[in-house]
Amino acid sequence: MSAARWRNAMKSGAQSSNVGRPNFSTQATTASSRDSYAVADSATVFSRVQRSVKPRHLLVASVALAFPFFSTPFFTFQVMSQSLILGLIALSLSFLAGYGGMVSLAQMTVAGIAGYGVAVFGTSSAAEISLGWPWWVAVPTAVSVAVICATLIGWLSVRTEGIYTIMITLAIGVAFYYLVLQNYSIFNGFQGLRELKPPTVFSVNWRQPTAFYFMSLFCAMAGYFLVRYIVRAPFGVALQGIRDNPRRMEALGFHVVAHRVAAYALAGLIAAVGGILLAWYNALMTPGSVGVSWLINMLVIAVLGGVKHPIGAFLGALIFVLLQTFAIDVIDRERFNLVIGGVFLAIVLFSPDGLLGLWAKLRSRFGPNQTITTTQRRMT
Amino acid sequence: MSRYLNLTRTQWFVLLSVGVPVLAFSIWALLGNARLYLVTMLNGLTLASLYFIVASGFTLVFGLMRNVNLAHGSLYLLGGYVGYAVANYTGWWIIALAAGFLAAAIGGLLMQWLILRHMQGQELRQTMVTIGLSIVIADLLLWIFTGQVYQMEAPSLLQGPIRGIPVINAYSAYRLSLLGFGIAIGLFLWWLLNRTRVGMMIRAGVDDRGMLAASGVNVNLVFAATFALGAGLAGFGGVIGAVELSMVPGEDTRLLLASLIVVIVGGMGSVIGAAVGAAILGLAEAYGLAYVPTYSVVFTFMILILVLAFRPRGIMGKAA
């Protein structure tokens, strides 16, 4: 049964249990979340938005929107845009890891496939390779190719579990790295493809820092809310059930493999968008951008922020970029890996839930008794 | 004869679908250029020995502790660098070999004793710790030894080619000796695991850690010893590889990838599986490089996919 058909069956299964299974789509959700989306007419949607929006959300949103107007272009482009893009790719990893229980190191590879896709289908410095399609053909094609690859990677790696998944996806990622390094006919080998520019649409040059920032912000927000939405939807709840106890979910009649592969495909979509933005940000795609250090950096970013909440990826990315940009002024430029490796090690050793976990610990100690990171949907 | 060919239909299918193309290729290649074919086979087998030495340590640690040590490549590099420095200082390759083994073993022991011991059973966290360690170790090594390419000289005894082999004519003595090293280490591991008391403990630990501890064995000590041995094998491989390949930052990733593929293909935790996986990977890489140079990596990758598709736990793997 395909994942899409399965989702439909699950949705209809709630009302009519004619498919021979009880209406577990409501059972599988927690009692607290049932009330808020079982009945979803427009009035409750509005009140739900009103209830779930807190002052800190408005604060973050207004800072994010106003940021480029009182900051330097350097900060807007180099720090904030890069954090948003890296955060978006890391989000795909943290979605898989946090909600699906599958730590895939190949997310950067998927992003890289999308980036190379834009370079090959669109325009780049290597005219004999690039097909020169207009952006509105090249970008969707690149995203589709990346999503198909992500699905295949997912199909391959869901045959394994836990730590095996890390090994398989790492092997796939490194294999792709060697492929682009050695292949000159499509990927232009070590040189890579250069001069990748975002298109000029609606007479706005999206290469310009402020415009690029807003484009990244839009994509990042879209990814963030997509993940927030998915993890509350029946599919997401089933995915979390599979993370916690695959055998039980299998016994309940859920197709475990289909759910996992669908999660890979969804994460692939997020990573692909991030990958295209990253290609435009760097203006080039080289084997180095899908090298093993970047595969691992994505894990570092996701774990640094914390994988139990989608915002963790962006938090981790911001810290990562800030360290990358400013820590090298304090210490030797060459020693960035030592710093980031050390920080990562410290986080894994002392706070496995990342900075969000640290924050939750502090809150539970000093603040009112409430945690910010929950594996399930947060109570409103 | 029929007793030995008592295969199921799937086994027949796999045997035919793999065996026939390989046989066809072999005949075609042997008729075309027999020397190239045989040299490539030797290249593949010697590369396989190096992979086996490194990956057997990886699989040993994994089998006992369920710990994917992603810093294994860094230990390989550490062993190689230390071996190079010692060989430069003393001029003895054998001492360098021992020093590489010891350096990596001590490094592994420290990792296990200081960090991994405290998170027993948390597999994912352990793996992430080893990722962090691999970043740190790689950068420290880059700091100390810089990005320069080091190439160790083979010991005088093994320098130069061996002449007078039929068809092939001449082949590097050092590379041939690698084959010996691989077989020796394989036999040693077999002896250690199957014929000694320590090996008995390790095998018991693989099956049931709790029961082993309950029978009065100091499991932590067994773990530490196994980890040291596994890491030491990586360092040993590092010194051997420092002659055959070369020492540069990035080699750690290459050997880590090779180890990963070897144990995924061969089956995790099985030393015999590591030997089978190493032979497949080494031969595939050598033949790929000789006959289809641009896509040799894709070739390796295809093997990985095929094995995963038909045997998700690897060729020799058992269900966990």
The answer to whether A335 contacts B268, with C-beta atoms less than 8 Å apart, is no
Residue A193 host element (H or E): strand A193-194
Distance of CA A120 to the CA centre of its chain: 23
| pLDDT > 50? residue A18 | no
List helix spans (H) across A245-350.
246-251, 256-282, 292-305, 311-322, 328-330, 336-350
Residue A185 DSSP class:
S
The reported pLDDT for the residue numbered A147 is: 92
B290-301 pLDDT, tens digit per residue, is: 887 777 777 777
Which residues on adjacent β-strands are paired with residue B169?
B165
Residue B150 DSSP class:
B
The reported pLDDT for the residue numbered B164 is: 67
Query: Which residue, chain included where needed, has tokens 């810093």?
Result: B71
| pLDDT > 80? residue A209 | no
The Cα–Cα gap between A61 and A311 comes to 13
Closest-CA distance of chain A to residue B62, Å = 10
Q: Where are the domains of chain A?
A: 74-292
User: β-strand A193-194 against A284-285: which pairing, if any?
Assistant: antiparallel
The answer to whether A156 contacts B142, with C-beta atoms less than 8 Å apart, is no
| A333: confidence class by pLDDT, cuts 50, 70, 90 | low
Distance of CA A360 to the CA centre of its chain: 22
| B105: confidence class by pLDDT, cuts 50, 70, 90 | very high
Question: Which of A105, A155, A164 is the best mutation test for B, with the most CBs of B within 10 A?
Answer: A164
Three-class SS of residue B170? strand
The reported pLDDT for the residue numbered B297 is: 72
Q: Could you please report the per-residue DSSP string of B9-33?
A: HHHHHHHHHHHHHHHHHHHHHHHH-
Nearest to A345 among B132, B138, B260 (CB): B132
> Across all residues in chain A, what is the average pLDDT?
76
pTM: 0.77
CA atoms within 13 Å, Cβ hemisphere of A161: 11
Residue B132 DSSP class:
H
Comparing CA positions, the residue from B285, B260, B255 lying closest to residue B274 is B260
Q: Which two tokens stand for residue B76?
A: 């390989």
User: β-strand A204-205 against A284-285: which pairing, if any?
Assistant: unpaired
Triad B98, B100, B103: Cα angle to 5°: 105
B219-239 pLDDT, tens digit per residue, is: 888 888 888 998 999 998 888
The answer to whether B312 contacts A166, with C-beta atoms less than 8 Å apart, is no
Backbone dihedral angles phi then psi of residue A89, each to the nearest 5 degrees = -70, -40
The Cα–Cα gap between B73 and B265 comes to 18
The reported pLDDT for the residue numbered A45 is: 65
The Cα–Cα gap between B3 and B183 comes to 30
Q: Which two tokens stand for residue B90?
A: 């003393």
| pLDDT > 60? residue A212 | yes
The reported pLDDT for the residue numbered A31 is: 43
Higher pLDDT, B84 or A326: B84
Query: Which residue, chain included where needed, has tokens 């094609």?
Result: A141
Q: Which two tokens stand for residue A14?
A: 């709630």
Residues from chain A that touch B132, judged by Cβ atoms under 8 A, are: 300, 341-342, 344-345, 348
Per-residue pLDDT, averaged over B260-285, amounts to: 85
The Cα–Cα gap between A69 and A61 comes to 14
Higher pLDDT, A327 or B126: B126
Is residue B132 less than 8 Å (CB to CB) from chain A?
A: yes
Higher pLDDT, B180 or B123: B180
Query: Could you tell me the sign of the dihedral formed by the alpha carbons of B239, B244, B245, B248, in that order?
Result: positive
A80, A213 in Cβ contact below 8 A? yes
Triad A205, A209, A215: Cα angle to 5°: 70
> Across all residues in chain B, what is the average pLDDT?
82
Residue B295 DSSP class:
G
B 66-85 residues with CB < 8 A to A: 66, 68, 70
Query: Could you tell me the sign of the dihedral formed by the alpha carbons of A343, A348, A350, A355, in that order?
Result: positive
B24-57 pLDDT, tens digit per residue, is: 888 887 777 777 888 888 888 988 999 999 898 8
The reported pLDDT for the residue numbered B106 is: 92
Residue B171 host element (H or E): strand B169-172
Three-class SS of residue B139? helix
The reported pLDDT for the residue numbered B27 is: 83
A345, A296 in Cβ contact below 8 A? no
B181-217 pLDDT, tens digit per residue, is: 889 998 998 898 888 888 888 888 877 878 888 888 8
The reported pLDDT for the residue numbered A49 is: 67
A38-72 pLDDT, tens digit per residue, is: 445 556 666 766 666 777 777 777 777 777 777 77
The answer to whether B143 contacts A335, with C-beta atoms less than 8 Å apart, is yes
Comparing CA positions, the residue from A290, A233, A291, A230 lying closest to residue A96 is A230
Give the number of other CB atoms < 10 A from CB of residue A10.
24
The reported pLDDT for the residue numbered A17 is: 38
A96, A102 in Cβ contact below 8 A? yes
Higher pLDDT, A312 or B305: A312
Higher pLDDT, A177 or A74: A177
Per-residue pLDDT, averaged over A74-92, amounts to: 84
> What is the longest distance spanned by two Cα atoms in chain B?
62
Q: Which two tokens stand for residue B13?
A: 């299918």
Q: Which two tokens stand for residue A181?
A: 């390094």
Per-residue pLDDT, averaged over A345-370, amounts to: 75
Angle between helices B72-90 and B219-244 (to 10 degrees): 60
The Cα–Cα gap between A239 and A266 comes to 12
Three-class SS of residue A161? coil
Q: Which two tokens stand for residue B22?
A: 């390989």
Q: Which two tokens stand for residue B312?
A: 């998700």
* Burial class of B162 by CB neighbour count within 10 A (0 to 12, 13 to 18, 19+): middle
The answer to whether B298 contacts A179, with C-beta atoms less than 8 Å apart, is yes
Closest-CA distance of chain B to residue A175, Å = 7
Is residue B141 less than 8 Å (CB to CB) from chain A?
A: no
The complex's ipTM works out to 0.75
The answer to whether B260 contacts A292, with C-beta atoms less than 8 Å apart, is no
Q: Could you please report the per-residue DSSP string of B225-264?
A: HHHHHHHHHHHHHHHHHHHHS-B-TTHHHHHHHHHHHHHH
Three-class SS of residue B151? coil
The Cα–Cα gap between A198 and A213 comes to 12
A110-158 pLDDT, tens digit per residue, is: 999 998 888 888 777 776 777 777 777 888 888 999 999 999 888 888 8
| A370: confidence class by pLDDT, cuts 50, 70, 90 | low
Q: Which two tokens stand for residue A347?
A: 């986080």
A21: Cβ contacts below 8 Å, ≥ 6 apart: A13, A252, A253
Per-residue pLDDT, averaged over B52-65, amounts to: 84
A34: Cβ contacts below 8 Å, ≥ 6 apart: A26
The answer to whether A167 contacts B260, with C-beta atoms less than 8 Å apart, is yes
Closest-CA distance of chain A to residue B123, Å = 7
